[in-house]
Amino acid sequence: DVKVTQSSRYLVKRTGEKVFLECVQDMDHENMFWYRQDPGLGLRLIYFSYDVKMKEKGDIPEGYSVSREKKERFSLILESASTNQTSMYLCASSLPRGPLAFGQGTRLTVV
Amino acid sequence: AQTVTQSQPEMSVQEAETVTLSCTYDTSESDYYLFWYKQPPSRQMILVIRQEAYKQQNATENRFSVNFQKAAKSFSLKISDSQLGDAAMYFCAYRSPLTGNQFYFGTGTSLTVIP
């Protein structure tokens, strides 16, 4: 089974901090994604990557950046955390035409 | 962009009964993929079932089956013999191989199973 691991389940950060959310997958998937999940809004795509060092903006990239230096790792960076970035963050990976495999999620609270 | 609509924010079903969750989508593409995901309170999103648009036969996975109507752009999920462990949020998702292989999600249906 594909395993997607997010570095933290819960995270509390202060406003203005630079925050790193790490995601690692072990099935050699080309595609990796970062989503944000908020009640009533479903999943919204922040960034995705088709391959190493490639990245594409999703629907809500403002305030975020990503890094994919290795195929198995996709990092989400909050350059300067703000309270409106308090949310659930989901990482996922897939083959080009396959389903998404999700990590367990990181609940980030910015205070 | 493709849109996916789940018109039922909440549903409930009696244990052992059958429930159907609805999903419609809007697309002009002929080749695409559809998925249902389950998100229990533990938060881990789990793939329930998948359907390729070119396949006419409806997908089935044990107690889960879909009613895929391509012309109507409808993709409903039927859960038979509902169990307490089926209680979760269910998300319908569309994957486009043409528009960058992105996924588009509905806003989810919260399913309660009544003992």
Contact (CB<8Å) B35/A99: yes
What's the pLDDT score for residue A70? 95
- Residue A53's pLDDT is what? 86
Find out whether B65 and B78 touch, Cβ atoms under 8 Å: yes
Contact assignment for A33 to B103 by CB distance below 8 Å: yes
Using alpha carbons, select from A28, A34, A29, A30 the residue that is nearest to residue A6.
Answer: A34
Q: What are residue A56's DSSP bridge partners? A: A48
Residues from chain B contacting residue A31 (CB–CB below 8 Å): 101
Q: Least CB-CB distance to B33: which of A48, A92, A97? A: A97
Residues 6+ apart with CB under 8 A from A32: A23, A25, A48, A49, A68, A74, A91, A92, A93
Shortest Cα–Cα distance, B102 to chain A (Å): 9
Q: What percent of chain A has pLDDT over 70?
A: 98
Spatial CA neighbour of B45 closest among A93, A79, A52: A93
Cβ–Cβ below 8 Å for B44 and A105: yes
Three-state SS at A87? strand
Averaged pLDDT for residues B15-43: 93
Nearest C-alpha of chain B: how many angstroms from A43?
Answer: 6
Q: What would you measure as the largest C-alpha separation in chain B, in angstroms?
A: 44
Q: Residue B3 belongs to what H/E stretch? A: strand B3-5
Over residues B60-103, the pLDDT tens digits come to 999 999 999 999 999 999 999 999 999 999 999 999 877 667 89
Which one is predicted more confidently, A47 or B102? A47
Q: What tens digit of pLDDT does each residue of A86-105 get?
A: 999 999 999 888 899 999 99
Summarize pLDDT for A5-28 with one digit per residue, the tens.
999 999 999 999 999 999 999 989
In angstroms, what is the C-alpha Rg of chain B?
A: 14
A27: left (phi over 0), alpha (psi -120 to 50) or beta: alpha
